[in-house]
Every structure is written in structure tokens, then in C-alpha cells.
Amino acid sequence: MAYGLIGLVIIIIVKQYRPEFAIYISIICGILILVFVMDKLTNVINLIKSVIDKTNINSSFLSILLKITGIAFLAEFAVSVCKDAGESAIASKIEIGSKVIIIFLSIPIISNLLEIIIKILP
């Protein structure tokens, strides 16, 4: 992750002269890294789609899993930004909120798994 290292060097230099701008550089650097990672993530998503097409798995589950993964990534990014800014209280609230949203989104998958288990049991 060369972008992270370049961002770190810029932040260290800027912190000496204008420390209030360091958080903005950190956010911009994080967003750039996320954008470049998203490009690679599309290949993984296409692979998962092809596996789901070949199997008998409900394709709506892929959408749910992608949403959960996206929420987890964005929440981690937001938590890191908050901690960098010295706002650990807000960071902990973001973590709790994201976990609640993830649990809410996973209810259809959990209920489907429970139905399958009930069918298997005698």
C-alpha cells in the first residue's frame, strides 16, 4: 500500500507546520485507498457470482453479504478516522451501530439456515 506510506509521510511533514490539516490528509488518503481497493473487489464479487450461479444458493444472499461486507468496511474506516481525530466515544458508537445493522441485515440468512436445519433433523 504505497498510497498509505505516501500519505503517512505527507501527514508527518504537514503536522509539523499545520497539524489541523493532518486529519484531512488522513481522510483523503483513506478514501483513495478505498477507491483503489474497490477495483480489486469487483473481481472477487464476479467470482462469487459465478460460484452462486453454478450452485443452488439463493442469489439474494449475495446481495445481503455484499451489503454486510460494505458496512463492515465503511464502519472500520469511520472508526479509524474518529480515533485519529481523538473522538473515541463517537468511534465506539459507530462500532455498536454497525454491528446492530449487520445483525439486522443477516436475519434472512439466519432464518434460512434455521429452516434448513429443521428440515434435516428427524
Residue 7, all three cell numbers: 500519505
**Gap between the Cα atoms of 99 and 75, Å rounded:** 9
Q: Judge contact between 104 and 49, C-beta under 8 A.
A: no
Task: Give every CB contact of residue 53 below 8 A, 6+ residues apart in sequence.
Answer: 59
d(CA 103, CA 68): 9
- Band (pLDDT 50/70/90 cuts) for residue 1 is low
The mean pLDDT value of the chain amounts to: 86
Residue 72's CB: how many other CB atoms inside 10 A? 14
**What's the pTM?**
0.71
Average pLDDT over residues 92-98: 95
The whole-angstrom separation of Cα 56 and Cα 47 is 15
Per-residue pLDDT at 24: 87
Mean pLDDT of the region 82-97: 91
